A and B are shown apart, each in its own frame.
Chain A
């Protein structure tokens, strides 16, 4: 195990890749800086200079530390579980779990989190060694819970194990809600949550799943439409779209509840909410901006059979994205109902962003295709420039809410979108973009 630890450390701090410079300098520096700032904030709270007490701030901090690693399950994207130590290696279940945990804890995210907490405990008078241990236990528990939930998502276990795992997960939820393990005085409950998480993961490690969820999918759903099949049976695309749609539904429902309770909307003044939730941007950033990366053999057949015939590429592209967008549109009707008073803006915002994204995505799929390996399927980073352009343009449309004059952006945006399609049509005829090498030189 020590050898693995050494190898990982060497890999992390190795000087092989210059692009890791930011990891070694900027991120640790930022972690230390944020630790110092929050440390001073806690000291001021301890001296009674803030409206909140230091205990309240530490509770808030511990809650955030517990939620942060768990939320990485969907933000920035869902990533399938990594199985480093597979079941056929002669390693005990406990060691397997520990090795996987060490590997995860030596990733950048957790190292910087640790640097931040260490700095905080040095600077702050109130955040002592006990809180440092408590906070790190919560971080590890949260990460273990994420692993457990992902195991349940990706694998299918026998009924007894499944029930047992879920009972214990419910226990953790109840403890989290009613026993406040995030309060500095409730260290014992933090320990119990940590112990339960370790126990559930050990149970999972020792239980052999009898099927993976993807294997179940392969035999169900007798769907006839070829393009619908392409969506449903492509694991990466399916998961990305489902997660995108679930995020939207959760936010819409949360907003409805928030309005009932406070009379205000979550999205009031929140640009990110509008970009990611109100518009269909999330599906484009996950999948459609790099559609050929998800269906490289389909592109290859189109190339072999039609080569410079733009018509076939366009038809195939839009047939694939049509059904997911239709579902998104239906779900977005909830949003329209929530903001019925602003219906003109909501409809304009949604439709304009849809027009631009539809035109841009096919263009970008040709300009910047990237082959997606299994481990990279859920990364948004495969099309960073394209996604950034989408975010900026969708963000600009929000100006229509601020001032009605910005509705003049609409014809301008439509012209740009159509121009993109015309340019792509010309580029395909001229065989301008090299799609083959990025997709096939693995």
Chain B
């Protein structure tokens, strides 16, 4: 479970997020929507304790997010917008390193890499044995994605998971995320691709003008008759 209470964040005196109250339960697939620079990534960084809020309380797994121990942290998987891949390593070595960070046994790491690589990659062996530095953007994204899910975490946080993926890979990801949902798991993602969001999200939050403008189930999203999901989103933003 992720819980934010009255969270306020500013940079150099300029507020970015104001009075954010948010609760994401297990079994939810919660999608953050918003314009570029709305504060989605900042919110994710706050949740991950990469930056501190000016005020407010953030809890993960029923603990304040700065008091999680290594066992708690092993239950969290993250895909960042910048992917955070270590370019000096090969894809295989990178995933092995991340597996060790998750304290996974060696044979399980190999098994998971093979399993996910055969699902997401085309020619897994040759691709994973190359250095990440020479990977295409999409390939880096897939490797970063595998690193986030290889431990099958209870909390999966994905920042712009569809950006840079070809339609086939994006579709595979949609299928995977839908199958990943379970009562013990929670998925938080941010994306601009509303087409994919419609297919996986159970709940939606819209961040606009520093506030959480809309926070509810996707079925309650105010889509009017004859209007698409994208149109409804634009209307909400433009009406403010």
Contact = CB atoms under 8 A, between A and B. Distances in A.
A230 B85 CA distance: 12
Contacts of A297: 82, 84-87
Nearest to B93: A226
Interface in A273-303: 295, 297-298, 300-303
Top 8 A-B residue pairs of the complex, sorted by shortest distance between their CB atoms: A233-B88, A305-B101, A297-B84, A436-B50, A230-B88, A234-B88, A218-B131, A297-B86
Interface string A298-313: 1011111111110000
B84 A226 contact: no
B73 A230 contact: no
B102 A233 contact: no
B86 A230 contact: yes
A431 interface: yes
Contacts of A232: 88
Nearest to A301: B101
A388 to B, nearest CB: 28
A229 B70 contact: no
Nearest to A298: B86
Interface of B: 45, 48-52, 66, 68, 70, 73-74, 76, 78, 80, 82, 84-90, 93, 96-98, 101-102, 131, 133-134
Interface centre among A229, A297, A309 (most CB of B within 10 A): A297
B131 A233 contact: yes
B133 A218 contact: yes
Given A218-B134, A297-B86, A307 B93 contact: no
B68 A307 contact: yes
Contact of B70 (A230, A301, A306, A440): A306
Contacts of B102: 305
A1 interface: no
B174 to A, nearest CB: 25
Interface in A229-247: 229-230, 232-234
Contacts of A298: 86
Given A297-B85, A309-B70, A304 B131 contact: no
Nearest to B66: A431
Size category, A interface: 20 to 34
Contacts of A440: 50, 82
Interface in A385-403: none
A233 B73 CA distance: 29
A303 B50 CA distance: 8
Interface string A308-322: 110000000000000
16 contacts: A218-B133, A226-B89, A226-B93, A226-B96, A229-B89, A297-B82, A298-B86, A301-B84, A301-B98, A301-B101, A304-B76, A304-B78, A305-B74, A306-B73, A308-B66, A437-B51
B127 to A, nearest CB: 14
Contacts, number: 67
Contacts of A434: 51-52
Contacts of A215: 134
A306 B72 CA distance: 10
Contact of B48 (A226, A304, A308): A304
Contact of A305 (B73, B89, B93, B134): B73
Nearest to B72: A307
A134 to B, nearest CB: 46
B47 to A, nearest CB: 11
Nearest to B49: A307
Nearest to B96: A226
Interface centre among A295, A303, A307, A309 (most CB of B within 10 A): A307
Contacts of A229: 88-90, 93
Nearest to B77: A304
A95 B97 CA distance: 49
Contacts of A304: 48, 50, 73, 76, 78
A440 B78 CA distance: 16
A218 B88 CA distance: 9
A211 to B, nearest CB: 12
A295 B84 CA distance: 10
B103 to A, nearest CB: 9
Nearest to B131: A218
A218 B130 CA distance: 8
A302 B86 CA distance: 12
B19 to A, nearest CB: 22
Nearest to A437: B51
Contacts of A218: 131, 133-134
B51 A305 contact: no
Contacts of B97: 226, 301
A303 B51 CA distance: 11
A230 B89 contact: yes
Contacts of B134: 215, 218
A431 B51 CA distance: 11
A295 B101 CA distance: 16
A309 to B, nearest CB: 6
Contacts of B68: 307
Interface centre among A301, A303, A436 (most CB of B within 10 A): A301
A307 B48 CA distance: 10
B98 A233 contact: no
Contacts of A226: 89, 93, 96-97
A298 B133 CA distance: 15
A149 B76 CA distance: 49
Interface in A208-255: 215, 218, 226, 229-230, 232-234
A369 B40 CA distance: 25
